[in-house]
Amino acid sequence: LTREQLLRMVWKDVSVEQSSLHAAVSTLRQALGPESAAFIETVPGRGYRWCATTEEVAATPPRRADPG
């Protein structure tokens, strides 16, 4: 995706600068750890590319503890 596409998708009705996007991607890379290069590729002059395989999973409601 281009930087502009990501900015529109993530911050729909909020005006932010590209530095906000850069900071968010940096935070995501830190969370992913050393393997982050296998997931997120910077495309110079364009934006970012997600490189990992993804799959959709069904959301499950949180389980409540059995009161006994």
Q: Is the pLDDT of residue 68 over 70?
A: no
In the chain, the amino acid numbered 28 is L
In sequence order, the 6+-apart residues with CB closer than 8 A to the CB of 43 are 49
pLDDT for 67 equals 66
C-alpha neighbours within 13 Å on the C-beta side of residue 6: 18
Q: Give the model confidence (pLDDT) of 6-62 as tens digits.
A: 888 888 888 888 888 889 899 999 998 988 888 889 999 888 888 888 888 888 877
Whole-model pTM: value is 0.65
